[in-house]
Structures are given as structure tokens and as C-alpha cells.
Amino acid sequence: MAEVIIEGVDLLDKVRKCEVKDNEVVKAVEEMKRTGVKMLRDEEWCQEDGLMLKEEKVYIPRDEKLRAEVIRPYHDTPVGGHGGLSQKSDY
């Protein structure tokens, strides 16, 4: 898995260290630990390199600041047509 480094910040490392724990993710991790597997429900959930993946995509915990930091480089571009993220968002 590739690292995502933007302006000297390793975003995947921030995701790994995030303290926010969503109930759905906690249940998946607990089930993985209990059963001794790294994959659940026909590859819906997977643990890889300290990250939780859902349907082969890195799952970003529901931490508003972290989610904003992850999407900012892709959202705040002239090509994306946006001048920046608002203070309050619904993603």
C-alpha cells in the first residue's frame, strides 16, 4: 500500500493513529481478533498495515478534522472548482 504524504504530513499514519472509533469498525476489528482472521464478510472489511479497509478502500474514521485534511488536497483545487472547505461540513 502506498503512503499518502501531502505537505510533509503522512495522512495514512494519521488515520492509523486516530483515536476516534466508529461502532461499525470496532465491531469488525473485535470479530477479526476473536476469530483470528484479517478479512470479514467476503472482503467487505480487511485489516492491512494498521489500516481498516472497507471494500478495498481505506476507511477514514469519523473525525471531522481528519476527514477534512484527507479531502482538502483534492477538493481545494482550481480544477475541482472549489476555493476551499467551509468550517462546517457533512462528509
Boundaries of every domain in the chain = 5-75
CB 58 within 8 Å of CB 15: yes
pTM given for the model: 0.60
Going residue by residue through the chain, which has 91 residues, state the pLDDT in tens, using 9 for 90 and above.
555 555 556 888 888 888 877 887 778 878 888 888 777 766 678 888 888 888 888 888 889 999 888 887 777 666 655 555 554 545 4
| Cα three-residue angle 71-66-68, rounded to 5 degrees | 35
Contacts of 90 (CB under 8 A, 6+ apart): none
